[in-house]
Chain A
Amino acid sequence: MRLRFSVIICAIGFFVSDLALANDSRFENITSKILTQYNYIEGKFEQERTLQGINRVIRSNGRFSIWRDNGIYWETSKPLFQATSFSKGSVYYWTDESNCESVKNDSYQISEKISQLMLAFFTADLKQLESDFEVIGKNTNKGWTIILDPSNMYVSKAVNRVTISGAEHVEKISLELATGDHTNIWLQVTTKGDKPDAENQNRILAAYLNEYCAE
């Protein structure tokens, strides 16, 4: 069993908040609010990356869509288009607005695992997520903060620590990678509902439906 660390990290941002919430009953309330109140949320994000050996912060932004039990669509708009769909055991990269391709992993099961982990977050499948992190949670004046230290050795080879904070929703995710790189992501939920519109449905499920995506 050898995981592709780079791919594994992609799951972290999503499922950590769920683990943190499992730490405290007050978190559980918030969790249930986030997870069960709406089947679908979408919003915008801002991201800053500090890379070892580079004296410049790399900034990007974009949008996200999360549809419970179905999948996630994560799109970077600036400085250029980058998008990923996670749905039903698959991970697909969008090469442009209308075409995507399967993640070129030699072991297909890694994509499946990542996809499962992320969907587990939104379906509150805590049992599946708990095994990868040690979770420390605390309430703050504005909301809550969760610190996640990897207990899974594969994850620990790629990431040192993940910090999640928020109030009603996850608002900020900080990633400290094993290479010394830092990533901060700010999330802003703009739409909540039962299901995405047709376009976002296609974005999330494109890979699953295999409509746009090449294997």
Chain B
Amino acid sequence: MATAAEHPLKSIFDRYPFLHRLIVLSFLIYVICLFGLAALVLRDGISVETDIQAIVPQNSDPVIKVANHVLEQRFGNIVMLVLAGTDKQKVRECEKILREELSKRQQLKVRNDREIIESYQELIKVYQPYQFTLLSESDRRLLRSNRSEKIIQAAWRRLLSFQTGHPVSHFAKDPLGIFDNYYNGLPFMRGIPGIDAEGFVEVITDDGVVSYARPIVIEVNGKAMDMTAQNELVSYFDAVQQSAQSRYDRVEFYRTGLIFHAENAAVKAKKEFTFISLASMLGIVLLFLVCFASVRPLLLSILSLLFGFAAAATVCCYFFPRLHLITLVFGASLIGVVIDYSLHYFSHMENIDASDRLATLKRIFPSIVMGVVTTVVGYACLYQASLPGLREIATFCIVGLVSAWLFVTCAYPWLAGKRAIYFPGFIYQAAELPERFWSKLGGRRSLIFVSVVFIAAAAIWFIYGKAENDIRLFYKPPPELMTQDIKIRSMFSQQAANQYFLVKGVSAQDLLQNEEQLVNELQRQVRSGVLDSFTALSQYIPSIELQKGDYLLLSKTLYAHGGELEKFILQAGIEKEFLEIFLKSQSLAELRHLEPEDVLTHMPQEIRDLWLGEQNGLFYSMVFLGGINSLEPLSNIADNNESVTFVDRVQSLSELLKRQYWQAIILLIAGYAVIGLIVITRYRRIESLSIVLVPMISSFLLLGILSLLSVSIGLFHILALYLALGLGLDYGIFLYDSPADRKTMVAVMLSALTSSLSFGLLSLSSTPMISAFGLTVLGSGILSLLLAPLLIKAGREPNVPVDSETSSV
């Protein structure tokens, strides 16, 4: 039977006296490197990322990455304020005041209807030279179906009726209004569905009251804002809104924009970081004062914590683009884990003489080595999930742990003093409580009871457990922001931020032709109510093939000699020279075609964004979608068209998380198997598997309890079980190696208490993934602490009736 005395690490410093010096030397080099890194980090400035998207996995397809980036740029810096009221005039007055106020702030660009209209007027000049190759969809349909009389009727209306002019073009340049129809038919000229001619949307409340809503769209300059700038801006919006609201009490305000969510998440995360850090520290201070009744252990422990935390922050700041606030929140839980090494050290301190400073370290070295290895392995498992946020968290925690471990190993022998520390009696009694509990219950009966509960819990999880793996794991918007988002979405058909089509072609023209096919299909989907609208580049730049066809169609019908135009001109009594000049300019335009480069630079940004250009030898564009009511038909379009990809970021993320969820479960099972083999190899007894049973049974029990409480189990619960495995193994190994050591029991209990405190606080986080992680580690940690004495004792002494024993210590 393996005992603590036989532990190979126990005498390692005696066998290799230089080893500790080597570790100390490495520690010093490490500290120097950290200082170097810190200098570099401070030189570049520390910036904390608050954008929740930074921790969400990105698509691996490089073109989709580019497209997503475009989309993020497009939506990331837009704020929409909506004013609504029953009196249009009041809403308009309030809007005017708000616009004036918002325009004063340099950071903001308030989208102005006048500028938009003027930019569209300017675009007429860009399109005009190509007017003979451009046909509106309705005119094309009429000409193809030989119903040109409709176009002629409209031309007469233009000519005779007092109500119409030719705002797009002069009569002389476009007598039948063909170009007028084309330009006015462009999607941006058709207006936003649901908005009336004064720019209001009619909203009917639940009480049946009709009110009118007006949007103000604002661009926030500079996406990557730090927390302070974000806070300032949101406070500014609050102040402007309150000021306007006080003057127009009957006008209601709604707002939406990523900045509000980012600010909300950042403020919450900052509060949580502060709360978790302070509460953990307070708990540990109290624990140390009660247990050790001395300031030195407390100060040293805090020093080791600070060193671990500073090292982790420095390394992450250097190796990751920006330190995410969520990492800091998660990192706060390190306090409860890192403190273990100090706890073990001081728990095992005895009176030593100056000649053997390493005496305590020698005693605890196997435990803290195993402790750091198992916990690091637990955190390292987070790397398996290809989530950028988790990688940063894992790096932070591993660096923090190893740094604190090094600090304890290297600095404590010199700084910790030479006098033994004795715990108060009640601490020992508390540590022995679980074992006494099982003894009282009857060891064998306890084992049967635990086994039954374990099987039941596993069955409950398998049968009733619900898996949930979607974007909600990363961010849960607060109800007040969600309500406003939903309200605004119900008023205005907004462009989908997470779904779009990606179209490709071997050339720009091939791309446009492919897009035209997609546009035809999307028009059918709009008619059948699958979506409200869409925006495609080919709606603004027809392919040359289509332009050639349209030119030919016009030449053969309206503009043919003796055609409808000629009849119209003659009937209107206009001189024939005019006709000749017009038709000559038409024939000269045969080879003049509108191409992307002619018009793209003049287009509004929202349309330029659609063009992704050449990527890896192919040409790409995006088709934006608005008011999606059903995703499946859109997905089906892409399934039947090789040149089209339907990108659904929410769905992709859910699928990725689901895949990783099952991978994590399989890997966890494999991990248990490997660890089981290692334990058997190390202890050469099948009963030693009880060490592995501690975290395993705890994990199943926890999953069963969570399932009973209708908590959905997600990827982060499973990933947390890796850490739970590490912590549970620690408890098992310590107890297995030192069965009669009361101090080990105390150390294990204190270690479990500090971990539970930190992860318990983490479970209060408003970020679902952090909360899931905290809850899982907390629950399984407590269960491991409770079960470890029973299982380890049963494993160490299988032939001794457990219920006949009393406490062995």
Residues of A within 8 A of B173 (CB): 53
Closest approach, in angstroms, between the C-beta of B794 and any C-beta of chain A? 76
Q: Per-position contact with B for A108-142: 1 when CB-CB < 8 Å, else 0?
A: 01101110000000000001000100000000000
- Report the Cα distance A91→B578, complex, angstroms: 33
Does B709 lie at the interface of the complex (its beta carbon under 8 Å from any beta carbon of A)?
A: no
Does B160 lie at the interface of the complex (its beta carbon under 8 Å from any beta carbon of A)?
A: yes
Does B601 lie at the interface of the complex (its beta carbon under 8 Å from any beta carbon of A)?
A: no
Residues of A within 8 A of B169 (CB): 179
A13 and B197 contacting across the interface, CB-CB below 8 Å: no
A11 (CB) vs chain B CBs: closest residue: B163
Specify which of B89, B162, B199 is in contact with A183 (CB 8 Å cutoff).
Answer: B162
Residues of A within 8 A of B157 (CB): 82, 93
A113 and B162 contacting across the interface, CB-CB below 8 Å: no
Query: Please, how many residues of chain A have a CB less than 8 angstroms from a CB on the other chain?
Result: 55
A54 and B164 contacting across the interface, CB-CB below 8 Å: no
Q: Per-position contact with B for A1-29: 1 when CB-CB < 8 Å, else 0?
A: 11111111111110000000000000000
A178 and B165 contacting across the interface, CB-CB below 8 Å: yes
Interface residues of A in 53-95 (CB under 8 A from B): 53-56, 58, 60, 74, 76, 79-80, 82, 84, 93, 95
Residues of B within 8 A of A164 (CB): none
Interface of A is mostly: mixed
- Report the Cα distance A113→B196, complex, angstroms: 8
Specify which of A76, A173, A175 is in contact with B160 (CB 8 Å cutoff).
Answer: A76
A52 and B573 contacting across the interface, CB-CB below 8 Å: no
- Report the Cα distance A180→B166, complex, angstroms: 10
Specify which of B138, B153, B193, B199 is in contact with A95 (CB 8 Å cutoff).
Answer: B153
B572 and A1 contacting across the interface, CB-CB below 8 Å: no
Q: Per-position contact with A for B169-183: 1 when CB-CB < 8 Å, else 0?
A: 111110000001000
Which range contains the number of B residues in contact with the other chain?
35 or more
Does A104 lie at the interface of the complex (its beta carbon under 8 Å from any beta carbon of B)?
A: yes
Specify which of B160, B171, B189 is in contact with A52 (CB 8 Å cutoff).
Answer: B171
- Report the Cα distance A51→B160, complex, angstroms: 11
B164 and A6 contacting across the interface, CB-CB below 8 Å: yes
B165 and A5 contacting across the interface, CB-CB below 8 Å: yes
A153 and B163 contacting across the interface, CB-CB below 8 Å: no
Residues of A within 8 A of B495 (CB): none
Closest approach, in angstroms, between the C-beta of B129 and any C-beta of chain A? 17
Given A2-B117, A54-B578, A93-B157, A181:B163 Cβ within 8 A: no
B171 and A2 contacting across the interface, CB-CB below 8 Å: no
Q: Per-position contact with B for A132-171: 1 when CB-CB < 8 Å, else 0?
A: 0000000000000000000001100111000000000000
B199 and A1 contacting across the interface, CB-CB below 8 Å: yes
Residues of B within 8 A of A4 (CB): 184, 189
Does A106 lie at the interface of the complex (its beta carbon under 8 Å from any beta carbon of B)?
A: yes
- Report the Cα distance A18→B401, complex, angstroms: 81
Given A6-B164, A60-B160, A185-B162, A107:B572 Cβ within 8 A: no
Does A192 lie at the interface of the complex (its beta carbon under 8 Å from any beta carbon of B)?
A: no
B162 and A2 contacting across the interface, CB-CB below 8 Å: no
- Report the Cα distance A173→B163, complex, angstroms: 12
- Report the Cα distance A171→B180, complex, angstroms: 31
A179 and B571 contacting across the interface, CB-CB below 8 Å: no
Closest approach, in angstroms, between the C-beta of B449 and any C-beta of chain A? 71
A12 (CB) vs chain B CBs: closest residue: B163
Q: Per-position contact with A for B566-582: 1 when CB-CB < 8 Å, else 0?
A: 00000111110010000
Q: Per-position contact with B for A171-196: 1 when CB-CB < 8 Å, else 0?
A: 00101011111010100000000000
Q: Per-position contact with A for B183-204: 1 when CB-CB < 8 Å, else 0?
A: 0100011111101111100000
A1 and B192 contacting across the interface, CB-CB below 8 Å: yes
A8 and B161 contacting across the interface, CB-CB below 8 Å: no
Tell me which of B158, B161, B572 has the highest count of chain A C-beta atoms within 10 A of its own C-beta. Answer: B161
Residues of A within 8 A of B114 (CB): 153
Specify which of A10, A107, A113, A178 is in contact with B167 (CB 8 Å cutoff).
Answer: A178
Does B120 lie at the interface of the complex (its beta carbon under 8 Å from any beta carbon of A)?
A: yes
B189 and A2 contacting across the interface, CB-CB below 8 Å: yes
Residues of B within 8 A of A39 (CB): none
- Report the Cα distance A56→B573, complex, angstroms: 8
Interface residues of B in 70-124 (CB under 8 A from A): 89, 92, 113-114, 116-117, 120-121
Residues of B within 8 A of A12 (CB): 163
- Report the Cα distance A183→B180, complex, angstroms: 19
B196 and A7 contacting across the interface, CB-CB below 8 Å: no
- Report the Cα distance A74→B157, complex, angstroms: 12
B214 (CB) vs chain A CBs: closest residue: A1
A56 and B171 contacting across the interface, CB-CB below 8 Å: no
Contacts A/B (CB < 8 Å), 16 sampled = A1-B196, A2-B120, A6-B165, A6-B180, A8-B197, A9-B162, A47-B162, A49-B160, A76-B161, A79-B571, A84-B161, A107-B197, A153-B113, A157-B167, A158-B165, A185-B162
In the complex, besides A1-B192, A5-B165, A56-B573, 14 extra interface pairs with C-beta distance below 8 angstroms are: A1-B197, A6-B165, A9-B163, A9-B165, A47-B162, A53-B171, A54-B574, A56-B574, A56-B575, A79-B160, A107-B193, A114-B197, A175-B162, A177-B166
